[in-house]
Structure 1
Amino acid sequence: MNNTIFRVVAGGLFLLAAISCNTQTQSGNKQTGPAEAAQNSAKQHYQVGDQVPNELVCMVNDAYMGKPQIAVPVNGKTYYGCCQMCVKKLNEQESSRMAIDPASGKKVDKVDAYIVLLDEQGTVGYFESEDSYTAFGKNN
């Protein structure tokens, strides 16, 4: 009986892993989560406060991932997501493509934003410009 329970639990864990957002990219390469991406950031030479390239950010999870993400063309612009669930959200939900600039409070399109690594866990912020980020830095 214990062997049967183990198989059911192991099967359930496998299913959870298979549907997890950060498990696989479109090409089948393993992805990292925000915490692991922050550890990888040393390889990319990005530190807290640095601007990071759009293609290294999952724009659904608002996280620096440390390696190129899946390109998602929407309305002539290219957004980036870490998995097929993120691709779907970026295609279907405008809210996943927009952010609020923490300095100005204005709504910004993530593609057009000045994206900055905010903490060691990989969280990014979207600013309408470098000047807006500089103002944010002075106030925080």
Structure 2
Amino acid sequence: MKTIFRNTFIIIFGSAVFYACGTEKPKSNPQPEPQPVQKVQTVASSGKYSKGDQVPNETVCMVNNAYMGKKQMEVPHNGKMYYGCCEMCVKRIPNDKSVREAVDPFNGKKVDKANAYIVMISDDGEVAYFENEENYKKFLAQNS
């Protein structure tokens, strides 16, 4: 019985020493590995809409402010509908007021993205939010 116990102890202890020696010790203050930035792929080149066009609200990721070319995930909040491209966006919209609002480039007023007139402002799908179509037309006239 003593022999079995001793042999078992030696095997377990030896395995533990081997394991400990074969693994790297953690650094005292390890720095987190930098995570790659995930670039949102837009499909502005789909041909359906181009720079200067109004785009349907449901085709815009309202967190990334990007035309995505297809209907996004619906995020209802306070009786309004917002849209996000991924689960992170869906979770962020109800909890972060800043992603539900934008500034109208014409008059500088805050605009609720759920009610905005959304226009694609770049060839890569970036969008701007206007209070209404009239503000967008005035903005165009002012910046021509």
Per the TM superposition, whether the score is higher than 0.5 is yes
Matches within 5 A, 1:7-26: 20=38, 22=40
Tell me how far 1:21 sits from its aligned partner. 7.2
Matches within 5 A, 1:1-140: 20=38, 22=40, 33-34=41-42, 37-40=43-46, 42=47, 45-140=48-143
For the pair shown, which has the larger CA radius of gyration, 1 or 2?
2
- Counterpart secondary structure, 2:81: strand
**5+ long unaligned stretches in structure 2:** 1-32
Q: Give the partner amino acid of 2:140.
A: G
Q: Is the 8 A contact 1:21 1:83 kept in 2?
A: no
Partner of 1:25: none
> Using the alignment, how far apart are the partners of 1:21 and 1:77 within structure 2?
27
Tell me how far 1:47 sits from its aligned partner. 1.8
Q: Is the 8 A contact 1:21 1:85 kept in 2?
A: no
User: CA-to-partner distance for each residue in 1:48-93, whole Å, 9 max, x for gaps?
Assistant: 1111101100000000000110100111111000001111110100
> Using the alignment, how far apart are the partners of 2:57 and 2:141 within structure 1?
24
* Structure 1 residue ranges, 4+ long, deviating more than 6 angstroms after superposition: none
Q: Give the partner amino acid of 1:130.
A: E
Give the alignment's TM-score, normalised by structure 1: 0.73
Partner of 1:26: none
Q: Give the partner amino acid of 1:38.
A: A
Q: Is the 8 A contact 1:21 1:86 kept in 2?
A: no
> Using the alignment, how far apart are the partners of 1:114 and 1:104 within structure 2?
14
**5+ long unaligned stretches in structure 1:** 1-11, 23-32
> Using the alignment, how far apart are the partners of 1:70 and 1:21 within structure 2?
18
Q: RMSD value over aligned CA atoms?
A: 1.8
